[in-house]
Amino acid sequence: MSQSEARPPLLADADGVYRVHIIGNSGSGKSTLGKELSSLLGLPHIPLDPLFWKPGWTRSTNEEFCQRIREALDSSPGGWIVDGNYTSMGAGFVTGEANNVIWMDPPLLLYFPRVMWRTFLRLLRLREPCSPGCAERPAEVFFSKESILWWCLTNHFRFKRKTQGWMADPSFARKTVHLAGWGSEYRRWWSSVVSMVKGHAKST
């Protein structure tokens, strides 16, 4: 949905509940936004990576994964902030249940250096891994097609095309905020979210 259209920056249901699903390529800023929205709205932040990856980079089965997601959502009836994609693993129902989808879509040139820096810090154990027990290892980072760096590069345009296809569905488009560009669009949207929340706080 175009940011020029008159609509609140976040949509709530009839009970005032926000259910937010943040999507985007690896490194696009999903987790950072998830934590910030969680703090601002006072809602639980549910990253999908720890629900999917077991220690030692062992994949959960789709059934296990979806059950964990279901339990996390059901335990948060007052709203939630989910970040992550995993539609091919069965997690598409998160988007269906969300009343807001935030599509993080910065240029690859902007966020790929951040992915490299994050990966470097994880290699040095200076930053927590994406899931407990899933430490980054040089062999996988630099010499494997499973590398997060390789995935980020090869998935950027593929994810963009896929999500553009979803935007053709009015039910998806009307609840989606597409944050592209080099940061100004994101900052304007975030400022409007903060203003909205402060306005609600003053009226209660």
| 183 is a domain residue | yes
| 122 is a domain residue | yes
Residue 77: enclosing H or E segment and its boundaries? none
| 126 is a domain residue | yes
Query: Where on the phi/psi map is residue 178: left (φ > 0), alpha (ψ -120 to 50), or beta?
Result: beta
| 202 is a domain residue | no
pLDDT for the residue 204: 63
Q: Which residues pair with 81 in a beta bridge?
A: 20, 45
| 129 is a domain residue | yes
End-to-end CA separation in angstroms for the chain:
29
Q: What's the CATH code of the domain at 111?
A: 3.40.50.300
Q: Which residues pair with 101 in a beta bridge?
A: 21, 176
Higher pLDDT, 31 or 5: 31
Q: Which amino acid is at 30?
A: K
| 43 is a domain residue | yes
Whole-number average pLDDT of the chain: 95
pLDDT more than 70, % of the chain: 96
| 14 is a domain residue | no
Please give the residue range of the domain that contains residue 51.
19-196
Q: How many domains does the chain have?
A: 1
pLDDT for the residue 4: 43
Instruction: Tell me the whole-structure pTM to 2 decimals.
Output: 0.94
pLDDT of 45 above 90: yes
pLDDT for the residue 143: 86
| 171 is a domain residue | yes
